[in-house]
A and B are shown apart, each in its own frame.
Chain A
Amino acid sequence: MASDPAHDPEPQAARNGVRVRLRPVGEDDGPRVVELFESLSPDSVFNRFLSPLARLDEERVRALTHLQPGIDYALAACIDDGGLERFAGVGRFRRVTAEVAEIALVVGDPWHRLGVGRMLLKGLTGIARDLGLRWFDSTIEPANVRLLRFAEACGFKGTLKYQNGLLNMRTDVESLFPANPRDPIEDHPRP
């Protein structure tokens, strides 16, 4: 697929004009993952982990960077900060069956509402389609209305089920980023 951003090194422009490049997360990305974690507000941490983690311990960092081939897929949205690469956000999924993967996205709070989440989800959607996945599953906080709006903006179709204090969200991979509607990121002139 020509549009598969995991293999597409061409940077995209965020709404603030900064260039963002998507690439797979690698084993030596620990420091960048930790730095991203530190740029998260308490609410973003909670929404991502459903727990107010104070820090990422080594074991967690390892789990987030040492991916099981064919099972774990993770994309980082990278920015260039004076020659230093930083993560503005990371999106990942893990296959749980042939057709289903659990997905999680997180964008550093300074980068919210700039289109980074959309880029990441779009990248992951491309990979998932290539892999023949049909559903993205995620468990979210009912109060995470921000994510519901985000999903809606990305074309979400699927089911939402409220269960025991959490929302189980199952997204039809096909529904994401339908071809026709206007996509503000694509519309943004590339530098």
Chain B
Amino acid sequence: MESRSWHRFYTEGIPLDVIDEGLTLPELLDRTAARWPDRTATLFEGGRLTYRELKDGADRLATALVDLGIRPGDRVAIQLPNLPQTVIAYYGVLRAGAVAVMTNPMYVAREIEHQFNDAGVKVAIVLDAFWVKTVRGVRPELKTLQHVILTRLVDWLPFPKNYLFPIVGKKTGLVVDVDPADRTLWLKDLLARHPANPPTIDWDPEMLANLQYTGGTTGVSKGAMLTHRNLAVNVAQTAAWFTGMVPGGEVGLAALPFFHVFGLTVCMNLSVAYGASQVLVPNPRDIPKLVSLIAKYRPTLFPAVPAMFNAINQFPGIEKLDISSIKGCFSGSAPLPVEVLERFERLTGGKITEGFGMTESSPVTHANPLYGVRKTGSIGVPLPSTDAKVVDLEEGTREVPVGEDGELLLRGPQVMKGYWQSDDETAITIRDGWLYTGDIAKVDEDGYFYIVGRKKDMIIAGGYNIYPREIDEILYENPKILEAAAVGVPDPRRGETVKAFVVLRPGETATADEIIEYCKGRLAPYTVPRSVEFRTDLPKSTIGKVLRRVLRDEELAKAKG
């Protein structure tokens, strides 16, 4: 690509452009399985899956999916925590030529319904506990869904854990009984019954690999169409950043969920493409477990979010544990406080690079050089083959001078094809080949970028993007509510948290708890308002536009005291 101000900060070994091999993700798995067949692909509760076994499982699943009627381009949902079978499921779906729809296990019924119907999901691969908890309840509404394949948490556990676990698991709700009348299929049976005889596919890197759901610009969840090229190139771009990485020689700690695009690319796909072993962490909130896994398996790569680095820093007695195996970390999704970075680097001797990405760009676009100039508070510089600029917030056509705020625009081979069945939204988001991120940023004279805010009205709480419109829509469905507006208010722990302002219909009464209770089950847990304030009306403009900002400003003023 053309030379850019930031290129001189690329440290030795980082190319300006990555080589686009033109390979699809299943071809990358095939290559790794051929190079390192006996190397461990996944480690989970003492059970190991080699790359040979992973490929075999994926090929069998692809064969089974074809038997179930799946054809190239069909959509298959995967709703699983990080387990060995999640990797098998993902690569099996892709091996069949199908498109993976990664689904957040925290989704409530309404969200599942929207996502599965919007994507036209034909087959869903789901953890039995999630099936019982939510999916089963909306099954009648899932118009395109033909088959449900279930798997249990214990399915890939080694003996005797697979026998012992159910006893403990019953108490935690992780082990459930599935009604045979549900007529679901079982992943393990399918793999046992089908040979590894996947279909012959005329591979093209422009084929869709994922429909990755995200709020889009308006907050109605939309599927970002990520192609094999988008995802494979982003793996190469991220790998190019970790200049010391040894193909076939790394151990990754996979604590970021695979259903999220960050974990998908920097944990799962990166490991598979480069033959790394992954230590799977289904529940990253269990910090003692996380720490013990680091001590035991000695991972070298650890992509994570600031909250995880911080929790490890704060873990009692962490100084006495040997966690020095960690060489390279990638931190994303929220700003990393410098104290957290410094302490973690002291404890491990490794380096954390803070970066940036979004679902629409597969996701990684920016990072600070691991061994070069790292600027605090900056998301770093664009990765190889990636271009970025900052333009005026109003029309988005004029590049603003260094140091001035504007909208961040991105361009590169990792930028999605568009939003699934949403040409209008695509046309708004991708203009003249540039992805309009909706983030307000500035760039310094060295070409380091800084995020200073967001253009869209969006709340970021605990690392999740929350669209107030989505909450409002649920509140408006409550017959007691006349008007409602949700806003983000400062929160020391979650960054921001959701507060709802509610106007009741004349004659109605309700309590804050009642409104919060109403939202539970209709909104994903992180989206549910934490507080509710009743008002007699909402601030509006002279011709009736609701001025949410006025409410937010009041809250900000209150927080400042």
Contacts and interface: CB of A to CB of B under 8 A. Distances in A.
Are the chains A and B members of one assembly? yes
A165 B549 contact: yes
Size category, B interface: 35 or more
Interface string B266-291: 00000000000000000000000000
B126 to A, nearest CB: 29
Nearest to B473: A52
A164 B485 CA distance: 16
Contact of B541 (A102, A145, A146): A102
B541 A143 contact: no
A103 to B, nearest CB: 8
A148 B549 contact: no
A99 interface: no
Nearest to B469: A52
A46 B546 CA distance: 10
Contacts of A148: 395
Interface in B461-487: 469, 472-473, 476-477, 482-485
Chain A CB within 10 Å, residue with most, of B220, B476, B541, B547: B541
Chain B CB within 10 Å, residue with most, of A52, A54, A161: A52
B218 interface: yes
Given A60-B544, A160-B394, 7 more contacts: A43-B220, A50-B547, A51-B538, A96-B542, A104-B545, A139-B541, A165-B457
B455 A162 contact: yes
Given A52-B473, A54-B477, A142-B456, A162 B393 contact: yes
Given A51-B472, A57-B482, A94 B543 contact: yes
Interface of B: 217-218, 220, 393-395, 424, 427-428, 438, 454-457, 469, 472-473, 476-477, 482-485, 505, 538, 541-549, 552-553
A153 interface: no
A143 B544 contact: no
A167 B455 CA distance: 10
B527 to A, nearest CB: 15
Contacts of A139: 541, 545, 547
Given A102-B542, A102-B543, A143-B428, A51 B455 contact: no
B542 A94 contact: yes
A104 B483 CA distance: 20
B297 to A, nearest CB: 44
A165 B477 contact: no
Interface in A41-82: 42-43, 46, 48-54, 57, 60, 63-64
A166 interface: yes
**Chain A, interface SS category:** mixed
A92 interface: yes
Contacts of A160: 394-395
Nearest to B478: A54
A165 B428 contact: no
Contacts of B483: 51, 53
A104 B546 contact: no
B544 A63 contact: yes
Contacts of A167: 394
A143 to B, nearest CB: 4
A60 B538 CA distance: 13
A135 interface: no
A87 interface: no
Interface in A132-161: 139, 141-143, 145-146, 148, 160-161
Contact of B469 (A46, A64, A103, A145): A46
A168 B454 CA distance: 16
A64 B473 CA distance: 22
28 contacts: A42-B220, A42-B473, A49-B545, A50-B545, A50-B548, A51-B485, A51-B545, A52-B476, A54-B473, A54-B477, A60-B544, A63-B544, A102-B542, A104-B544, A141-B218, A142-B217, A142-B456, A143-B438, A143-B456, A145-B427, A148-B395, A160-B394, A161-B394, A164-B552, A164-B553, A165-B454, A165-B455, A165-B549
Contacts of B424: 146
Contacts of B541: 102, 139
A74 B484 CA distance: 26
Contacts of A94: 542-543
A148 to B, nearest CB: 7
B543 A92 contact: yes
Nearest to A57: B482
Interface string A170-184: 000000000000000
Given A52-B472, A54-B476, A57-B482, A143 B546 contact: no
A48 B477 CA distance: 19
B409 to A, nearest CB: 14
A137 B482 CA distance: 27
A42 B220 CA distance: 10
Contact of B543 (A51, A53, A54, A93): A93
A161 B485 CA distance: 23
Contacts of B476: 52-54
Contacts of B395: 148, 160
Chain B CB within 10 Å, residue with most, of A92, A102, A142, A167: A142
Contacts of B427: 145
A53 B477 CA distance: 10
Contacts of A52: 469, 472-473, 476
A103 B485 CA distance: 22
Contact of B546 (A51, A54, A162): A51
Contacts of A164: 549, 552-553
A38 to B, nearest CB: 14
A139 B427 CA distance: 22
Nearest to A142: B455
A52 B220 CA distance: 11
Contacts of B547: 50, 139
A107 B442 CA distance: 37
B543 A104 contact: yes
A103 B212 CA distance: 38
Interface in A8-66: 42-43, 46, 48-54, 57, 60, 63-64
B415 to A, nearest CB: 18
B456 A50 contact: no
Contacts of A64: 544
A112 to B, nearest CB: 10
Contacts of A46: 218, 469
Contacts of B485: 51
B543 A166 contact: no
B452 to A, nearest CB: 12
Interface in A81-102: 92-94, 96, 102
Nearest to B429: A143
